[in-house]
Amino acid sequence: MEPENQTHVSKFILLGLSEKVLLQPLLFGLFLSTYLLTFIGNLLIILAIITDSHLHTPMYFFLSHLSFADICFTSTTIPKMLLNIQTQSKVITFAGCITQIYFFMLFGDLDNLFLTVMAYDQFVAICHPLHYMVIMNSRLCGLLLIASWIITALQSLSQSLMVLRLSFRTELEIPHFFCELNQLVQLACSDTFLNDVVMYFATGIIGVIPLCGILLSYSKIVASIVRISSAGGKYKAFSTCESHISVVSLFYGTGLGAYLSSAATQNSRASAIASVMYTVVIPMLNPFIYSLKNKDIKQALKKLFS
């Protein structure tokens, strides 16, 4: 008998990272401290950029929006997880699950597109330094920002709406600490072919194309740095994009690692643990990477605190 579509009354059970009772206080403390570090660190980056006029450049303009996206990205999952641990309730409503999926994809994809735009900014700064301010003018920066928001909003909306066509039982267990789209689709009772097609298409648009753009930008940057005659000039050119390279490597490295681990093993709990890296750890590390490796950010933070 075909299951009745009960998505309007469905509840999901978020199993979290571990069901062991003794581990719950430890998980609560770790995730709370991580969330606070992420929130405060990225907020300080935003305030430093806003208050220091020397940082009112395209590079730091997009860095401030990257920090804002990181704050929102972690805020879509960690507070709900902390609430579940504190109240000892693992239930999330169907509407709450769809909302979480939408905002998780929205801000996660924004991270991806902002890193791509910042790679293009680095390419223009190193390969066309004399025309930098002409190319990266305020109008282009505004258009790139608006385009990033529109693309990610439409992509997230399409993915979320596709879930509404699926049928679920009244209660289902999700072996994750948040509503992850792929695992939710796998729990559906109805045919998911169209959902899979949309997911693969969105992965190409939001995942593969931006990565190709980043690799292309850095291939041009490396070629330009190699042509610089002096060692000091090479080091100066490389140091301008060192922070961005670190963040991009961590972002794509952990994301790819989580994807490969979920593809290689049928253990959903192991996949959930692997996803902690790109959903929790990387947004926390980003402000530290930029503040430790970037002289301008260091000076701006000193002024902010003084």
Q: From the centroid of its chain, how far is CA 197?
A: 22
Is position 173 within any domain?
A: yes
pLDDT at 10 over 70: no
Question: How many domains is the chain built from?
Answer: 1
Element at 93 (helix H, strand E)? strand 91-93
| Spatial distance between the Cα atoms of 281 and 201, rounded to a whole number of angstroms | 27
pLDDT, one tens digit per residue, over 105-162 is 999 999 999 999 999 999 999 999 999 999 999 999 999 999 999 999 999 999 999 9
Range 181-189 contact pairs with CB under 8 angstroms and sequence separation of 24 or more: 181/101, 181/105, 182/262, 183/268, 184/12, 184/97, 184/101, 189/2, 189/3
pLDDT at 2 over 90: no
Q: Do residues 249 and 29 lie in contact, with contact meaning Cβ atoms separated by under 8 Å?
A: no
Q: What is the mean pLDDT of residues 156-174?
A: 85
pLDDT at 185 over 90: no
Is position 5 within any domain?
A: no
Q: Structure pTM?
A: 0.91
Q: What is the mean pLDDT of residues 258-273?
A: 63
Is position 3 within any domain?
A: no
pLDDT, one tens digit per residue, over 268-292 is 666 777 788 888 988 999 898 888 7
Is position 164 within any domain?
A: yes
DSSP 8-state code for residue 205:
I
How many CB atoms neighbour CB 4 within 10 A? 11
Is position 4 within any domain?
A: no
Looking up residue 260, the CATH number of its domain turns out to be 1.20.1070.10
Is position 1 within any domain?
A: no
Domain extent at residue 19: 11-305
Is position 2 within any domain?
A: no
Is position 267 within any domain?
A: yes
